[in-house]
Amino acid sequence: MKTLILLTALTLAAGCSGVKPPIQGRNDPYRPPQISYTGESLRDDTAIGDIKLTRDNADILFVTVPIRSTRNSSFYVDWRVMFFDANGRPMGEATGWAHKMLNANAFEYITANSLSPGAKDFQLQLRRAE
């Protein structure tokens, strides 16, 4: 009986401490893609061709992304790009949003380059132009 009273007292004391546990993050099971969209309808209205990565003599990474409207009409998209080093760390902030017209069923090209040598990968974000 004394043990039960002692356990009850300890449980009440622990519960009354007033300290809440921290809210912890959760793991995302998905790897960030090179091309990401802000909505499914934009993904459905576009097609991406073979992405080309090249380097110049100064080890600057150049990216060319062929993209086209799969609709029978033209529309505008906004895009921005971020570059990453060999360890997957961002190399500065993402570029500002740029505006691009996608003509109906014709390939257009989004091109960007890293601002410093050593970039190994990139991510391009696309959204409908506002």
Note the pLDDT tens digit of each residue in 74-106: 999 999 999 999 999 999 998 999 999 999 989
Tell me if 70 is assigned to some domain.
Answer: yes
Tell me if 122 is assigned to some domain.
Answer: yes
Query: Domain holding 53: CATH number?
Result: 2.60.40.3230
Q: Report the C-alpha gap between 127 and 71 in whole angstroms.
A: 16
Check pLDDT > 60 for residue 53. Answer: yes
Tell me if 12 is assigned to some domain.
Answer: no
Supply the pLDDT for residue 70.
94
Domain that holds residue 66: 32-128
Supply the pLDDT for residue 13.
59
- The per-residue pLDDT of the chain, averaged, comes to 90
CA distances to 28, 64, 69, 89, 127 from 100, rounded to whole Å, are: 31, 14, 11, 27, 10
Interacting residues of 49 by C-beta distance below 8 A, sequence separation 6+:
65, 66, 67, 68, 107
Tell me if 53 is assigned to some domain.
Answer: yes
Q: pTM surpassing 0.85?
A: no
Q: Give the total number of structural domains in the chain.
A: 1
Supply the pLDDT for residue 31.
86
